[in-house]
Amino acid sequence: FLPLHEVAHGLRKELKGVAIRTYDLRRCRGGDRMHRGARAGVTVVYRSEALGYASAAFFVDTLGFEASVDSAIGEWKSKLLKKCKLSGKIMDCGSGTGPGLKYLCEEQAIREIVCIEPNPHLVGKLEQRVASMSVRNKVVSVFNGTLQEYMMKHPQEAGSFDGVVCMHSLACMGSSASIGQIIQIALSQGGKLVFLETTSVKGRGEWLQQLLRIPFIVLMGGWDLKRDVERGLRSLKWKTLITEHFEEAKMPLSRILRSHVIGCGVVAEAKGGLHRNSDQIVRRARAAYSRRAQKK
């Protein structure tokens, strides 16, 4: 048998425009972590980026899923932002259609907001929301692309953000540790990462969440219901990283989406472009951005 990475490489050549990712869905006694000697089980997921964006926009915007989520946990978002006391220049990562902007605009100390949204089907609604909002003493801009693409296109922005906000977006952005590294590159000294994300449910609904994991990855823009965001972020170096877990029964699909983790991480020093993995990250972002530019 060919190694898995060689199979994936060959399929990429045959299936242009289809992102091929490997997801380790193995389970064993003692939890999600694999113990020595256990048999490995790896599932290869074929996820079309175009299909993922289109289907995610249908669920999030057309069916009103995003609005339902915001009404269910909007109070948690507001309390979290007030507690973290954000100020200055803020990046809103994975803005969607912009329901979280109203909470950011309530913070008087914030002067600039950069909204990053990779889904082209949602950016139009996001721009409309920004144009219709009465924003005082704040500059709000929108970028259609991923966090990696933004940092590649604007390398001078490294170390310029006082805060990065991720509300239900970290689980859609790949490895939490890798994304956390890029966020640390964007943050200034003492800058804050503020996040709210779903986590694995325990007990009632656990089997259903496991069953729907792959459909969510394929149809909701890469949203992995069981990605351990907190563990990935804790693998990085922070001055402080405080987290709290809660359950919200008002959430839509509460059986699989009720469990959440919120947190605030403060970077010890500005890393800028000098992070030990930043060169590799920027190279990957440059390649992805070039491919998207060629398609356009």
Tell me the pLDDT of the chain (296 aa) as tens digits.
334 444 444 444 444 444 444 444 333 333 333 333 334 444 444 456 777 888 888 888 888 999 999 999 999 999 999 999 999 999 999 999 999 999 998 888 999 999 999 999 999 999 999 988 877 778 999 999 999 999 999 999 999 999 999 999 999 888 888 899 999 999 999 999 999 999 999 888 899 999 998 888 888 888 989 889 999 999 999 999 999 999 988 998 998 999 999 999 999 776 655 344 445 555 555 565 566 666 65
72: number of Cβ within 10 Å = 17
> What does the alpha-carbon distance between residue 59 and residue 221 come to, in Å, rounded to a whole number?
11
> What does the alpha-carbon distance between residue 33 and residue 285 come to, in Å, rounded to a whole number?
30
Tell me the longest C-alpha to C-alpha distance in the chain. 61
Contacts 24+ apart (CB under 8 A), 6-14: 7/44, 8/44, 11/46
Query: CB of 265 within 8 A of CB of 240?
Result: yes
Residue 22 structure tokens: 């490997």
Bridge-based pairing of strands 240-247 and 259-266 is: antiparallel
> What does the alpha-carbon distance between residue 67 and residue 62 come to, in Å, rounded to a whole number?
10
Q: What b-and-e string marks burial along 225-264, b requiring 16 or more CB atoms within 10 Å of the CB?
A: bbbbbbebbbebebeebeeeeeebeebebeebbbbbbbbb
Residue 261 structure tokens: 């983790």
Query: CB of 117 within 8 A of CB of 144?
Result: yes
